[in-house]
Structure 1
Amino acid sequence: MQKSRFFYLCAFEGAIALVALLLIPSEGATLSPARLALIAIHLALIIFWMFCGMRLPHRLDSLARTGPILLCTLLALTFSLTLFLLRYLDPEEFLLISIYERLGPLLWYLLVLSIQFALYLLILKNGFHFEALRQNKSIFLSSLYAFCFLLLVFLFVSLTKLGITKDLAYWGEPGVPILGWQFVLAILLGSIFLNYKFSNSPLIKYLLPLSIWLTASAVWLSVPISTLKNSFYAPITPPYITPFPYSDAGFYDYLSQSLLIGTDYLGNIPPRPLYVTFLAVLHFLFGQDYVKIIAAQTLVFALFPVALYFLGSKLHSRAAGVTVALFAIFRELTTLWISSNTRTASTKMFITDFATSMGIAFVALVVMRWLERRDTKWAIIAGGAFGLLLLLRTQSLIILPFIFALAWFAFQKRTKEWLVACIAFGLVMTATITPWLIHNYRVVGQFAFDDPAQMAVIFSQYSFDENLDISKFDFESESLGNRIVTFTLENPGFVAGFITNHFLNTEIGGLLTLPLIEPFNGLRAPVNLYWIEWDGSLEWYNLALIVFYLAVIAIGIGAAWSRFRWVGFTPLAFNIGYAFANGISRFSSWRYNLPVDWIVFFYFGIGAIEILVWASSVFGANISKILLVQKGESKQEPLKPKHASLVAAFILVGAFPWLMQGIAQPRYTSTTEELREQVVAQSSVAAEYFSASGVQIIEGRLLYPRFFRRNDGIFSAHPWAIYEVRD
C-alpha cells in the first residue's frame, strides 16, 4: 500500500508540474508544437506513475540496489546542474532563458523525482534507523551548548552594535566571501568522500593531498596576471604588460632586493623578515621576472588548502577535509577575479596576510599534534614552529597565552607536566627568534622585535585623534608597552570598547566569508561586490541565514569537542588569540582578518559534513568507517640528542633572515664624484651638463619602471614620491 502511495505521489507532483507549464504565457493564440510535446511528456509520466501504483508497486523492491540508487543520485545532480546553467550561465542570453522557462517545470519535476527515488530506494534497501542518532547524543549536547553561546554573542552584537560600529581610527569592509554556487559545489564534492570504501583506499591517503595542491595551483594560476591592476599593484602602464608591486607589497619587495645588492635591508629592521627573505630567494631564482615570481609564490601558497585538508581530516573525516580545502580554493579564486575591482590580499600579492593564514594553519596542525601526544619532541617542534610564525607576523605572539591555556586543559590539569611542556615550548620558541633579536640589537642598539615604524602605527592608535600619525613616536625615548598601559589605565572604558569592537569585527568578518542571499547576475557577469558597501545591517532572511550558519558552526565545534575534547579547540584558540591581537592593535576588516577568518568556515565545513554523516547513519551507514578518529597516544620521553638537532634546525631557520645579509657584496659603492668622472671621461657633452648647479648622478638598480604623461601619475592616499603627479 505504501509503495502504491509513492507512485501516486509521483503522479500528483507531475500534475503540479503540468499546471506550472500551462501557466507559462503563450506567444500566440494556440499552443506551439514544442509546448504540446512537453504537455504530452507530462501526461505520459502521470499516466505511467498511476499505472505503476495500481499494477506494479512491488517492482520497487527489485530496484532497491546500489546501482539504481547511484543512478538516481547522478540524475539529480545532472538535472540540478542543467537548471543552474540554463538560468545562470548567461541571464542576458534570450535563448537560454527561453529554454529555462519552458523546460523548467519538467526539469524541476525530474529533479524532485530523482531525489525522491534515491531516498525511497535507500529506505527499502537499508531501512530507516532513526535510533542511530542516539549514538550522537554527546555531539548534540555539545553543539547545543556551543550554539547557545554563539547565539548570545549574536544578540550581544545586535544590542550593543559592537563589532559593526565604525571606528574612526581604522575600519574597512569585510573580506571576500565564498560565492553561493562555489559553496554548494564544495559541499557536494566533499560529500563524495563519505563513501568509506572510496575514501579509505590506500592510494587516496597520498593522492588526495597532492590532488588538492595541484587543483589549487591550476585554478589560481588560471586567472590571468592582468587582474593585478590595483590594490597592492599599481596600474599596468605601457610598454610593460606585467604588474609591479606597490604600497606595502612594493615595500617588502624592494627590501628583499636590497639583500641581492648588498645593502642589507637598507640598514633598517625589516618587518616580516621571514617573508622578505622568501621574496629574496624568489628574486635570486627568477631575477626581475615578476610573472615567474608570482607563479612561484602561488605554487607555495597552494599548500594552504592542503593544510586545511589535514586539519579537517584530523578532526573529522576526509570528506570534511576536502570540503574545507575547496572552500579555501574557491574563495581565493573569487579574490583573484576581483583583484582589479576592490581591495584584496591574494596569493599573487607580495604581502604577508595570506602567508600568515598558511602559517597559522600549519602551526595549528603541529600544536594539535603536541596537545594530543603531550611529549617532548612535539613540544619542541610546536615551539619552533610558533617562533617561525612570529618572524612572519609579530602580533601572533598574542595567540600564545590562549595556546598555553588550552594546553592546561589538554594536559588534564596536570600542572607539573603542563608547566614543563610549556617551558620547553617557550625555550625553543625563544631560541628560534633570538638570532633575529640579536640582529636588531646590532641595528638600533636595543632588543626590538619589529620595525620601529610598525610599532609607531600601534602607538598612534592609542589616542583619541590623529590616529596613524607615526611622526609622534620616538623609538629611542618612548616605549610602545608603556604607551599602551598608560593610555589603558587612563581610559579603560574607551580601550575596552575599541578592543571589543575590533575583536568582534574580526569574528563577524569570518562569518561573512560564508555567502549571503544577494543578487547573482550569472556566471559570466562581474562578481557582485555586495560586501563592500555593507553597513552592519542585514535583511530578515539573511539574519535567519546567519543563525543557520551559527547552528552548523556549533555542530562543527561540538563534533570536534566530542571526539577530541580540548585538542579539537586548537584552531579556535588561534582564531580567538589573533582576533584579540586585532583588537589590541585597533585594526580589523578585510586583509587584517584574513589570517584567521578561515577558521569560521573550517568549523562550518566540519558541521556540514557531520550533518551528512547523521543523515547517512539514519539510512544505515556505518559511521565508524566514515570518520578518521585516530587519537595519538600520550607518552613522555627523556631528552635525546635528536631533540637538540631539532632545536638547532629551528635556530638555523630563524637565523636565515640575518644570514641572508651576507649573500651579496655591496654592488653600487661609487661616490657621486667618482660616477661623474666616469661619465665625463666618456662624453664631452656630459661635462657641460654636469657643470650646471643641482645636477646629480646616482647609480643603482632600476625597479618598477612606469611612464606617465604630463599631469599624470598614480592617484592614491599616500603615493610614492616618484609616482606623484607632475607638471
Structure 2
Amino acid sequence: MTENHRFPQKLFYIFSAIETIIAFIVLARIPTDPKNIFFAGLSFNRLLLLGIMLLILAMCIFQLSRLKITTHEPRLLLNINKFFTNYEWIYYLILFSSWILIIFPAYRFGKYEVIYSRIQPLIILISSLIFTFLILLKFKIKQSPINLYSNINVKILLIYLFIVAIVWIFLITTRFGLDIDHDFWGGAATPILPLVLYTSLFIPFLLSSLRKKGKSDENEGNWIIKVFPIILFLSAILIWNLEPFTPHFFAPKVRAPNYEYYPYSDAQIYDMTAQSLLNGEGYMNRGYVQRPLYGFMLFIFHTLVGQNYLNVVFLQTILYAFFPVLIFYLGKKLFSPFIGISLGVISVLRELTAFQASPFMEIVHTKLYMTDNWASFFALLITILMIFWFMNKKENHLLLVLIGTMMGISLLMRINLLLIFIPIFVTVFLKNTKNFKSSVLRIGILGLSSFIILLPWMARNYFQIGEFGIEPQKFRMVIETRFGIEEKSDSIESGSTKPSQMIMPENNINNLLNKIDTDSVLNILRFTTANFLHNEIHSVLIFPNSIYAESINGVIRENGFIQESWVGEINLRQFIAITINLLFIGLGISISYKKYGWFGLFPLSIHLFYNLSNGLARVSGWRYVIVTDWVIILYYMVGMVFILTALLHKIGLSDIRLSFVLDKESVFLEGQQKTFQGKPVILSSLIFVVIIAIGMVMPELLIEKKYAGEVTKEEFFQLIESKNIDYDQDKMRNLEEDADFVYIHTRAFYPRYYDPGEGEPGNNIEWLLAQDYGQLGLMIISPNVAGVTIRLDDSPVNFPHNEDVLIIGKWVDTIYMRYLQADVIVLPDESELIVSFQPN
C-alpha cells in the first residue's frame, strides 16, 4: 500500500479520535438526574455510552498504530469503494443523511428533547465518523487546475462589491432603510431555512448521479429532466396540502357560530369583490375595484368549489404549483437543469416554511386570499417569456405579442408591476440596435398588445365609474394617504397593527398634487429611498445565517430582523453570514454577465424596478419582498453551486464539472434535442389570455342583480311575513319610529361572534374592532359592500355563511368606510330572528 493510499486512512483515524474525545467530553458534562446516579455521579446508561466511546477511541488508536506495517489496502475498503462507484447515489444519500444528523438540533424533537439530548453526542459521533469516512474515501486533490476566471466577469464582481460597500456605508450613516418609516414598513419575508438550502443542493447531485448511471444509452438519463417538472408540480400540491392550515392575520382563527375560516382585511376585500360578482352586483357594486383579476379568479374558484375557505385555497395551491415548475425552467434555460432543479426544490420547500411561519410572522402564502404570490407568478412568467424571446435569434413578433398581453393582464393582478415594464421595453429596444426601425416596431408591438388586452377592463371602468384607466383610485389612494405623511420617529410602535391598504379614506381628498413643493419632493425621495433599501435588505436576509438545521421557530428566536421593529442590529455570526451570502449573489451576477453580457442582468433589473415601485408606494418588507426575491435566489444559487461544484470536483468527491451546472442545458441531457416549435403554444396561450381579458367583464354584464339592497319598510315586513317568521310586533314598532333606520335585503358573509374585549387587529375596519360588549360581525354586498355589527350577549346558534338576510339598522359614517349598526337581522331561509336593542 503506497503512502497516497495510506495518508487518507491516517487522516480518518486521527480525525475520528479527535471527534471521539470531543463527544466524550460533551457527554460527560451533561447533568445527570440525581435519582439515576449509578457511579461517579453518572447514570448507568451514561456510563455505557461513555464506554462505547472509549472503545471507539481505542480502535482508532490501534488501527492508526497498525497502519505503518500494513502492506495491502483492506479488502473491505476496496469493496466499499467499488460499491459506491457503482451506486454513487447511495454515497450521496448517506453523506447527506450523516450531515443532517450532525447539524440537527435537539430542540426540534419537542417533548423528546431531553431524551435525545442525552444520546445526541453518540449519534453525532457516529454520524461524524461516517461523514469523515465517506469524505476521505474519495478524497483526492486533482492536479488539473480549475479555471474559475473563465466563468466569472471579475470586473462586474468588483463593481458589485464596490456598490455593496457604498450602500452599506450609506445605510450606517443615513439610517435610510433601517429606521422605521411608515405604517407599511414590514419585517422579514419568508426565510430559506438551512435544511431547505441543503436539500435543494442535495437533490440535483442525487439526480445527476442517477443520470450518470444510465448514460450508456444517451437517452437513458433524459427521462429525469422530462419527468422532473411533473414530479415537482405534484410534490408541491402534496407537500403544501399536507401541512395543516394555521390562523393568519388575513384569515383569523375560527369563531362561533360556524367555526370556519374567513378572509380578513385585504383578503376580505378581494373575496367580497368575487361575492359581489357572484350575486349580480358586479365588481364591488359596479364601482372602483382593486386587483380585479384576483377578484375574478376567486369568482371562478367559488363557482367551481363553493364557499368553503379550505376548498378554495386547495384549488389555489393546485394552480400555484406551476410556480416551482416555472422557476425550474428559469434556471434550466439560463444555466442548466442542475440550477433549475435546485430552484424548484427551494420554491416548494420555502412555501411550506411560509405555512409553518404564519402564526409568528407577517408573511403571505398560497393558502390566503392575497395577490402577492400571484404577482410573483406573473413577474416570473414574463421574465421567462422575455428570456425565450431574447435568446431566439430570429424575430418572433408573435411571442412579443404574448409577452405584451401578459404584461397588460398582470396589471389587473397588481398595479405595482407597472415599473417592471421599463426594463422590459429597454431590453426589447436594445436587442438589435443596428436596425432602428425594427427596434421601434418591437416597442410598438409590445406596447400595443399590452394596451389592447386592457381595453375591455378600461372600457368597463369608463362606463361604470366614468374613468378610463386600470385602477385610477389606487394612485389617488397612495398619494392621499402616504405622500403627505412626514417623517416621525414615533410613528410606529413595536407590535402595532397595520390598517388595510384596500380601504381608502372617503373624507381625505386633499388634492395633494396641487400642494407639492420642494419639501414634498424631498420627502418623497426620502421615503422612496428608505423603502427601496429596506426591501433590498430583506431580500438578502432571507438566506441562512447558521449551518444548523434550525426550525422556523428557531430562526425567528435567533434573528431580531424577523420583526418589523428591527432597526439594523446584527451580531458577528449574522455579519459573517450576510457577507458570505452577498458574495454568493455577486458571483451569480458576474457569472450571468459573463455568459449573457448585459442581458444577464435583466432578471436583476426586474427585481430592482419592482422594489422601486414599492418604494414609491411607501411599502416594504414582509409580503412585499416575495414578488421578485426569486431573482436574488437565482443569483445566490448560481454563486453557491459554482463554489460548491468547483470545491467538490477539486477534492475528488464529485466529477461534475462547472460546465455541467453553468453552461448549455444540452450538457445534462447528452442527447440530440429537437427544435422546439413554439407557435402552437404561443397561439393557444394568446387565445387563453384574450378569453380571460374579455371573460372578466362578462359576469358583470350577464349575472342579474339578486338583491334589492335598501327597501321600504312595507316591503321589508312583507318579506318577513312571506317567510312565516314570528316576531314581536311591539318591539318592531319601537324601531319603526326612528327615521334613521334603513331596511335592507341582501346577502351576508363571514359571520363571526366576538366576546367582550375581543375583535380583530387593525384600525380602519371599525365594525370588527374589540368592544366592551359581545358582538356579531359580518359583511353584506348590497346596497353596497359594507360591514355589519350587531350587539349580542351570545353567539347565534345558527347563522350560515353566504346567507340571505334582512337587516334593520343605522349607517355609521367613518373616515374610511361606512358600516351598518344592526338592530335586527332576519335569516329567512333559517326562520331565525336575531334582535339587539342598543342602550340609550
TM-score (norm: length of structure 2): 0.77
- What's 1:435 paired with? 456
Q: Does 1:704 align with 2:739?
A: no
More off after superposition, 655-664 vs 439-448: 655-664
Distance 1:417 1:566, change over 3 A: farther
Pair 1:543-2:575 in alignment: yes
**Structure 1 residues 23 and 591 mapped into 2: Cα distance closer, same or farther (>3 Å)?**
closer
2:139 corresponds in structure 1 to 119
One of 665, 668, 675 as aligned partner of 2:707: 668
Q: Partner of 1:590 in structure 2?
A: 622
Q: Distance in 2 between matches of 1:575 and 1:268?
A: 32
Pick from 664, 674, 679: which aligns with 1:629? 664
CA contact (8 A) 2:193 2:550 kept: no
Aligned length: 705
Is 2:249 the partner of 1:231?
yes
Specify whether residues 63 and 409 from structure 1 end up closer, same or farther in structure 2 by C-alpha distance, changes over 3 A only.
farther
**Per-residue deviation at 1:307?**
1.4
Residue 93 of structure 1 corresponds to: 113
Q: State which of 302, 324, 338 in structure 1 corresponds to 2:357.
A: 338
- The residue number in structure 2 matching 1:251 is 269
- CA distance change for structure 1 residues 434 and 498 in 2, over 3 Å: closer, same or farther? same
Q: Is 498-507 or 187-196 further displaced after alignment?
A: 187-196
Is the 8 Å Cα contact of residues 406 and 566 (structure 1) preserved in structure 2? Answer: no
**What's the CA shift for 1:382?**
0.9
Could you say if the C-alpha distance between residues 412 and 47 of structure 1 is closer, same or farther in structure 2, counting changes exceeding 3 Å? farther
Q: Structure 2 matches for 1:143-182, cutoff 5 A?
A: 143-168=157-182, 170-182=184-196
Q: Shift of the alpha carbon at 1:526?
A: 9.5
Deviations 1:380-436 (A, max 9, x none): 111111111111111211111122223344335654332221111001001011111
In 1, Cα distance between the equivalents of 2:177 and 2:287?
36
* Aligned residue number for residue 637 of structure 1: none
> Partner residue of 1:207?
227
In structure 1, distance between residues paired with 2:226 and 2:382: 21
Alignment partner of 1:6 out of 5, 8, 12: 8
* Aligned twin of 2:199: 185
Supply the distance in 1 between the matched residues of 2:20 and 2:291 (Cα, whole angstroms).
Answer: 64
Q: In the TM superposition, what whole-angstrom CA distance separates every residue of 1:53-105 from its partner, at most 9, and x where no partner exists?
A: 53246567887652386655443323223334573542762221111124434
The more displaced of 23-32 and 96-105 is 23-32
Deviation at 1:14, TM superposition (A): 3.0
Q: Which residue of 1 aligns with 2:57?
A: 42
Q: Tell me how large the CA RMSD over aligned residues is.
A: 3.3
Aligned mates of 1:134, 1:683 — CA distance in 2: 83
The answer on 1:495 being equivalent to 2:524 is: yes
Does the CA-based 8 Å contact 2:336-2:661 persist in structure 1?
A: yes
- The residue type paired with residue 658 of structure 1 is V
Distance 1:247 1:683 in 2: 34
Picking from 724, 733, 741, the partner of 1:691 is: 733
User: Does the CA contact (< 8 Å) of 2:708 and 2:746 recur in 1?
Assistant: no
Out of 314, 317, 330, the residue aligned to residue 295 of structure 1 is 314
Structure of greater relative contact order (alpha carbons < 8 Å, 6+ residues apart): 1
Give the equivalent residue in structure 2 for 1:279: 298
- Residue in structure 2 matched with residue 420 of structure 1 by the alignment: 441
Shift of 1:552: 0.6
Give, in angstroms, the shift of residue 41 of structure 1: 2.4
How many Å separate the matches in 2 of 1:15 and 1:149?
46
Query: Given residue 270 of structure 2, which amino acid in structure 1 is its aligned partner?
Result: Y
**CA distance 1:456–1:661, shift in 2 (3 Å):** same
Equivalents in 2 of 1:473, 1:444: separation in Å?
A: 19
Check the 8 A contact 1:89/1:523 in 2, yes or no: no
- The answer to whether 1:607 aligns with 2:636 is no
Q: Do the aligned partners of 2:8 and 2:136 also contact (CA within 8 Å) in 1? A: no
Moved more, 247-256 or 584-593: 584-593
Shift of the 231–529 alpha-carbon distance from structure 1 to 2, 3 Å rule, reads farther
One-letter amino acid matched to 1:155: I
CA contact (8 A) 2:193 2:552 kept: no
One-letter identity of the residue aligned with 1:204: I
TM-score in terms of structure 1 length: 0.88
Runs of 5+ unmatched residues, structure 2:
30-36, 492-500, 667-678, 774-840
TM superposition shift of 1:252: 0.7
Given that residues 457 and 470 in structure 1 are in contact (C-alpha distance below 8 angstroms), is that contact kept between their aligned partners in structure 2?
no
Which structure: greater strand fraction? 2
CA distance in 1, matches of 2:91, 2:212: 20
**1:319 maps to which residue?**
338
| Cα distance in 2, alignment partners of residues 642 and 90 from structure 1 | 49
1:595 counterpart SS class: coil
Please give the secondary structure, in 2, of the residue aligned with 1:629.
coil
In 1, Cα distance between equivalents of 2:581 and 2:517: 35
The corresponding residue for 1:636 is none
Q: How far did residue 302 of structure 1 move? A: 1.8
Q: Which amino acid in the other structure matches residue 118 of structure 1?
A: K
Q: Is 1:129–1:617's contact at 8 Å kept on the other side of the alignment?
A: no
Mapped partners of 2:336, 2:48: distance in 1:
52
Q: What pairs with 1:637-648 in structure 2 (closer than 5 Å)?
A: none
- 1:318 CA drift (Å): 1.6
What whole-Å deviation, never above 9, does each CA across 1:468-489 have from its counterpart, x for those lacking one? 88446549xx5x8x46xx6365
Write the letter of the residue equivalent to 2:465.
V
1:714 equivalenced with 2:760 (yes/no): yes
Determine if the alignment matches structure 1 residue 568 to structure 2 residue 614: no
Superposed counterparts of 1:339-358, under 5 Å? 339-358=358-377
Higher helix proportion: 1
- Distance in 1 (CA, whole Å) between partners of 2:475 and 2:404 is 25
Given the alignment of the two structures, is residue 77 of structure 1 paired with residue 77 of structure 2, yes or no?
no
Percent pairwise identity: 22
Q: How far apart are 1:13 and its partner, in Å? A: 1.9
Instruction: Name the counterpart of 2:128.
Output: 108
CA distance in 1, matches of 2:453, 2:478: 26
Comparing 433-442 with 531-540, greater Cα deviation is found at: 531-540
Deviations 1:568-593 (A, max 9, x none): 32321210110110111111111122
Change (3 A) 1:573 1:34: closer
Matched, 1:240 2:255: no
Q: Is the 8 A contact 2:409 2:453 kept in 1?
A: yes
Change (3 A) 1:362 1:702: same
Q: Supply the AA of the counterpart residue of 1:586.
A: R
Q: Distance in 1 between matches of 2:331 and 2:206?
A: 15
**Pair 73,214 (structure 1): closer, same or farther in 2 beyond 3 Å:** closer
In structure 2, how many angstroms separate the alpha carbons of the residues matched to 1:220 and 1:409? Answer: 41
Kindly report which structure 2 residues correspond to 1:448-527, keeping only aligned pairs within 5 A, or say none.
448-450=469-471, 452=473, 455-465=476-486, 470-471=505-506, 474=509, 478=511, 482=513, 487=516, 489=518, 491-517=520-546
Change (3 A) 1:327 1:420: same
Post-superposition shift, 1:300? 1.2
Q: Distance in 2 between matches of 1:22 and 1:219?
A: 39
SS in 1 for 2:557: coil
Does 1:263 pair with 2:295?
no
Distance 1:68 1:188, change over 3 A: closer
Q: CA deviation at 1:662?
A: 2.7
Query: Aligned partners of 1:718 and 1:359: how far apart in 2?
Result: 30
Alpha-carbon distance change, 594 to 7 in structure 1, aligned in 2, over 3 angstroms: closer
Q: Give the gaps of 5 or more residues in structure 1.
A: 632-639
